Amino acid sequence: VSICGFYQGVLERTHNFKQLALRNVFISFVSGVAGITLALMEYGIFALVASRLIGPLVNLIVIRNLVAFSPTFTFDVEIVREIWQFGGRLTFSQFFNFSSGRIFELTAMFMFGPIAMALTDIARKIYITLNAVLITPLNPVSLSYLSKSSEPRKLYFRFLLLVCSVVFPAFALISAFSDIIIQFIFGSKWESSIELMTILGWAIVPQLLTWYLHNLCIRFNRPDSVLWLHVINFSMVFTGMAAAVIIDVSLVDSMWMLVAALFLSSILRLVYVALIVHLSIFRLLVLYFISAAYFALVHFLSRMLFESFALEWPAINDPSQQFYWAFMYCSLVMLALSP
């Protein structure tokens, strides 16, 4: 993973964002197909392990072929010192970011054991794949355009609106149809993941609205603020985890508490960055609540309309037929809502 990070930095520095985006799509597709295939072949937890290991391996092979560079494998203390002075805070920032990003699995494992962690991982698998395909590849792109723009504040709002208009409907539909997705892709033995998938879909609202804030801080020469953004998020989600442990709630309730902590954390981070780079707090909060309402509307209304028009739905017991009709319906909804 560290070696891949070096080569990725080289591509970002030369503005090869198209290659990076295509690489992410390919890696997500390969690891996702491998994990789902092994899960369907009833390899259980080994399907999850294989999916996690295949991604970095494919990444190294692909990115090494994209960058025509071979390291000399020499060590220089002075260079290491210069790198640490430049990226020390970024290192701590990434530590907090990584810990916060695994909070759902950590909570499930700490409170309920490996089975609960596996259920949570299954519930998040499709979301993580979509995240890697739709959201992560735009990170270097947003930084590049914000850096070049003479009106970065306006560009940030436009960029965020465009991304939200595409991503929110997809995640809302997956959350609304989680029962059909779990039954078809993973089988009835993973039914306990259905409610978790429904809950965790809501996490995209606070995550996406704060996903590119660090690029805005960098654009306004405030890289030190990136560390504090992750510290705020880390503190809030681990407070949510601690509250779940102290109250001793169920797995489902603990996931709700973590999602609520993410919502609160995102509001704090938005206000923090708005004060630093002089964004309109009112405009940010309006966008925030409109986005949450839009997600909720798509989530509840899409499933309600689907069940209203699918008059023969109760008679369809085959998961493949249920998935087929749900997929066709969701495709039409996405087409209708596309910007």
Closest to 128 measured CA to CA, from 174, 84, 163: 174
pLDDT in tens, 204-226: 999 998 888 888 888 888 777 88
pLDDT grade, residue 314 (50/70/90)?
low
Q: Copy the structure tokens of residue 332.
A: 């039409």
pTM for this prediction: 0.75
Is the sign of the CA dihedral 193, 196, 197, 200 positive or negative?
negative
Does position 110 have pLDDT exceeding 80, yes or no? yes
Q: Within 10 A of 271 (CB to CB), how many other CB atoms are there?
A: 14
Residue 257 CB-half CA count within 13 A: 22
Element spanning 60, H or E: helix 45-66
* Sign of the CA dihedral running 301, 302, 307, 311: positive
> How far apart (Å, rounded) are the C-alpha atoms in residues 294 and 337?
11
Tell me the CA distances in angstroms from 292 to 159, 212, 270, 288, one per residue in order.
Answer: 17, 17, 15, 6
Report pLDDT digits (tens) over 248-287: 899 999 999 999 999 999 999 999 999 988 888 888 889 8
Phi, psi of 16 (to 5 degrees): -90, 60
Interatomic CA distance for residues 29 and 197, integer angstroms: 20
